[in-house]
């Protein structure tokens, strides 16, 4: 049985708090290991190592930093299968999903390799008589990342490659449910030549989170998780003068107009709704079907759901794995009966889905489809975070748009149509941060920034892309004036003609 602990100052450090949490194999329900839960003192040790390492790393040349990043990228590529296997074993997602997660994380590393260009400032010559002004960006210092269970490699890589490339020292607090990926990445950073202390990992729970939010030497905090915790992180961190970006929950809608290709829509709804067992903030959880295409679309979705293979993440035949814990599976499953009570029709019951392999005690719930879900019901509005796809019937584009804009969240959305004018109108009118046009999961590439609106984001800055660079740096403007010899400055010994 494995034991997962901390990585501080370039080495594994045994947990000293005496507190641990169980790590499960979601496919069997069995305990596969234990993870140490850090005390405040252990968080302090990681921050102290970061404080000590920061000055030299800040002053390292951009060329040196970039070379470390390039080497880290090569190592991540070489170990992507190993990393994906760790993710599957602790999260439960199928291997192909885990590989996709790693690939999207590596994209941010590749973006961060361009840091010499991304940190270039501006220069204005002669703003006044012999006066020049120029701008520079400098790192914050010690920054922290608090990341969720659903993407144990990708979400941390939204943060630390850019933070480190900008010259900061980074302390990661990953989810205690699937902590092993963080230690593999820490080992690869060391192998890539990153100085000790620049990247540390403290495993833990609320004790570690609170200490990072309170610690006076932590200058900035990045967070991804549920909206209630995102709000808590933002309010707690900013109250102590920290820069905070906190990404919260989502309830993403797909608006389907009558002219859309319904086969394309059905494929997209199934992959976007049930990939990674629906445990992702960009999952499509509501399909807004504009009359009169609802019945035909539901039939096509059901046909595809019936053919999905549910099984362990390490089985190549599996298309969807288990949920991360038994408690979370039970919470998600409770929405099936709730949906029926609220007036929806349970078209596909995931509790009845056959599982290929895996243990009887695994945290299984198959893909579920609820049709005629009432607008404003809990099933419609609450973030279920599991393989439950709700179909809401609307009469028009305008009604569908209103349903989306009236929602609490504004993370991602999509429209499916062959009408370019309708799509252009939608992207202008919808109050959501990331929009797909005939694309179900509009996660931007690493050179753009990821983040939503409304209750899906607390703070002013999205992650990765240029906004990520700005979050992990502070701007300075320098105005300089140098006297030349003719104004009484340095006498260079040139002859003068009087």
Is the residue at 456 inside a domain? no
- Token digits of residue 234: 């933002």
Looking at residue 338, which CATH number applies to its domain? Answer: 3.40.309.10
Q: Judge if 316 and 207 occupy the same domain.
A: no
Q: Judge if 232 and 369 occupy the same domain.
A: no
Is the residue at 454 inside a domain? no
Is the residue at 442 inside a domain? no
Measured distance CA(38)–CA(208) in Å, rounded: 6
Q: What is the pLDDT of residues 360-372, one digit of tens each?
A: 899 999 999 999 9
Q: Judge if 311 and 387 occupy the same domain.
A: yes
Let me know: does 186 contact 199? Beta carbons within 8 Å: yes
- Token digits of residue 428: 């202008």
Measured distance CA(14)–CA(45) in Å, rounded: 12
SS3 at position 413: strand
Q: Judge if 283 and 235 occupy the same domain.
A: no
Measured distance CA(102)–CA(154) in Å, rounded: 6
What is the structure's pLDDT at 439?
97
What is the structure's pLDDT at 493?
58
Tell me the residue range of the domain where 395 lies.
252-437
Q: Judge if 269 and 241 occupy the same domain.
A: no
Measured distance CA(495)–CA(471) in Å, rounded: 53
Q: Judge if 206 and 66 occupy the same domain.
A: yes
Q: Pseudo-torsion of CA 462, 463, 465, 467, nearest 10°?
A: 40
- Other Cβ atoms closer than 10 A to 85: 18
Looking at residue 11, which CATH number applies to its domain? Answer: 3.40.605.10
Q: Judge if 161 and 274 occupy the same domain.
A: no
Query: Mean of the pLDDT values across residues 425-446?
Result: 97
Q: What is the pLDDT of residues 33-82, one digit of tens each?
A: 999 999 999 999 999 999 999 999 999 999 999 999 999 999 999 999 99
Q: Judge if 186 and 82 occupy the same domain.
A: yes
Spell out the alpha helix ranges (H) of 240-325: 262-274, 294-306
Is the residue at 496 inside a domain? no
Catalytic residue among 281, 370, 423, 457: 281
Prediction pTM value? 0.94
First CA to last CA distance, the chain: 91
Number of compact structural domains in the chain:
2
Q: Is the pLDDT of residue 85 over 70?
A: yes
Based on the residue annotation, tell me whether 281 is a catalytic residue of this protein. Answer: yes
Lowest mean pLDDT among 61-75, 195-209, 318-332, 471-485: 471-485
Q: Judge if 211 and 257 occupy the same domain.
A: no
């Amino acid at each position: 049985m494995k034991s997962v602990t901390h990585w501080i100052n370039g080495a594994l450090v045994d947990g000293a708090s005496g507190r641990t949490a169980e790590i499960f194999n979601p496919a069997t329900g069995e305990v596969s290991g234990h993870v140490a839960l850090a005390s405040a003192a252990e968080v302090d040790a990681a921050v102290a190592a970061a404080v000590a390492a920061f000055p030299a790393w800040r002053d390292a040349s951009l060329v040196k930093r970039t070379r470390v990043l390039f080497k880290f990228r090569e190592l991540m590529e070489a170990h992507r299968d190993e990393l994906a296997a760790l993710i599957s074993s602790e999260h439960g997602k199928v291997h192909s999903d885990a590989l996709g997660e790693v690939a999207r994380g590596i994209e941010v590393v590749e973006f961060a390799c361009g840091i010499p260009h991304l940190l270039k400032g501006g220069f204005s010559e002669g703003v006044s008589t012999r006066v020049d002004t120029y701008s520079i960006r400098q790192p914050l210092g010690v920054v922290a990342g608090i990341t969720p269970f659903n993407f144990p490699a990708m979400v941390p890589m939204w943060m630390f490659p850019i933070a480190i490339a900008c010259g900061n020292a980074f302390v990661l607090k990953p989810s205690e449910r699937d902590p092993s990926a963080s230690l593999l990445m820490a080992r690869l950073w060391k192998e890539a030549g990153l100085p000790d202390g620049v990247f540390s990992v403290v495993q833990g729970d609320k004790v570690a989170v609170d200490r990072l939010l309170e610690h006076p030497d932590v200058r900035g905090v990045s967070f991804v998780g549920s909206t209630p915790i995102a709000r808590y992180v933002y309010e707690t961190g900013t109250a102590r003068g920290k820069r905070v970006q906190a990404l919260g929950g989502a309830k993403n809608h797909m608006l389907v107009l009558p002219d859309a290709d319904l086969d394309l829509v059905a494929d997209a709804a199934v992959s976007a709704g049930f990939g990674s067992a629906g445990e992702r903030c960009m999952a499509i959880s509501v399909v807004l079907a504009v009359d009169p295409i609802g019945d035909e679309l539901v039939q096509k979705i059901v046909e595809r759901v019936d053919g999905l293979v549910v099984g362990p993440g390490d089985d190549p035949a599996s298309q969807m794995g288990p949920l991360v814990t038994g408690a979370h599976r039970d919470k998600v499953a409770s929405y099936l009966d709730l949906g029926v009570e609220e007036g929806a029709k349970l078209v596909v019951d995931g509790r009845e889905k056959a599982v290929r392999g895996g243990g009887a005690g695994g945290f299984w719930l198959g893909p579920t489809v609820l049709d005629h879900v009432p607008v404003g019901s809990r099933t419609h509005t609450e973030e279920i975070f599991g393989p439950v796809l709700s179909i809401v019937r609307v009469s028009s584009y305008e009604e569908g748009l209103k349903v989306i804009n009236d929602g609490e969240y504004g993370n991602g959305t999509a429209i499916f149509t062959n009408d370019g004018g309708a799509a252009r109108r939608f992207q202008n009118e919808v109050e959501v941060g990331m929009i797909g046009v005939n694309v179900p999961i509009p996660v931007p590439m690493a050179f753009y920034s990821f983040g939503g609106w409304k209750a899906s984001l607390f703070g002013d800055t999205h992650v990765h892309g240029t906004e990520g660079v700005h979050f992990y740096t502070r701007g300075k403007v320098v105005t300089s004036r140098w006297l030349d010899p003719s104004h009484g400055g340095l006498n260079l010994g040139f002859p003068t003609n009087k």
